[in-house]
Amino acid sequence: MARPHEPSAPEYRLDGFQAATEQIEDGFSSVTLSDDLFVPFSEHHSADGRDSHLLLYDRSAIWDIPGMAEYVTLHITRDVEQRTFDFASERHPVVPLAQNWLIRRGCPPEVVRGSHPHGPRPADGLTARLEDLLRANSDNRYEVLDHYTDNPCSFDVGVEVRTLVYDSHPDSADAPYRLFLEETTKDMRSYTLREGAFTSAEEADTWIMERDSPLPLAPAPPGSVSRRAAAARARSTVTGNGLAVAPAPVSPPQSGTGPAPTHSRGRAR
Cβ-based neighbours of 54, under 8 Å, separated by 6 or more: 10, 11, 12, 40, 42, 43, 44, 73, 74, 75, 76
Q: Of all residues in the chain, what percent carry a pLDDT higher than 90?
A: 70
Phi and psi at residue 208, to the nearest 5°: -60, -40
Contacts 24+ apart (CB under 8 A), 260-265: 260/145, 260/166, 260/201, 262/143, 262/144, 262/145, 262/146, 263/145, 263/146, 264/69, 264/91, 264/144, 264/146, 264/147, 265/65, 265/67, 265/68, 265/69, 265/146, 265/147, 265/148
Cβ-based neighbours of 177, under 8 Å, separated by 6 or more: 145, 164, 165, 166, 167, 197, 198, 199, 200, 201, 203, 204, 252, 255
> Would the pLDDT of 143 be above 90?
yes
3-class DSSP state of 244: coil
d(CA 9, CA 210): 41
Average pLDDT over residues 249-256: 40
> Would the pLDDT of 150 be above 70?
yes
Average pLDDT over residues 149-175: 94
Cα Rg of the chain, angstroms: 19
pLDDT tens by residue, 56-91: 999 999 999 999 999 999 999 999 999 999 999 999
Cβ pair 54, 30 in contact under 8 A: no
pLDDT at residue number 222: 53
> Would the pLDDT of 4 be above 70?
no
pLDDT at residue number 267: 34
Q: How much is the pTM?
A: 0.81
Higher pLDDT, 180 or 5: 180
> Would the pLDDT of 254 be above 50?
no
pLDDT at residue number 114: 60
What is the rounded average pLDDT for all residues in the chain?
A: 83
Cβ pair 95, 71 in contact under 8 A: yes
Higher pLDDT, 24 or 119: 24
pLDDT at residue number 237: 43
Among 247, 173, 180, 186, residue whose Cα is nearest residue 215: 180
pLDDT at residue number 153: 86
Under the banding of pLDDT at 50, 70 and 90, the label for residue 197 is very high
pLDDT at residue number 7: 61
Cβ-based neighbours of 68, under 8 Å, separated by 6 or more: 61, 62, 91, 149, 265, 266
3-state helix, strand, coil in the chain (%, to 5): 25, 30, 45
pLDDT at residue number 263: 34
- Residue 143 zone, left/alpha/beta (φ > 0; ψ -120 to 50; rest): beta
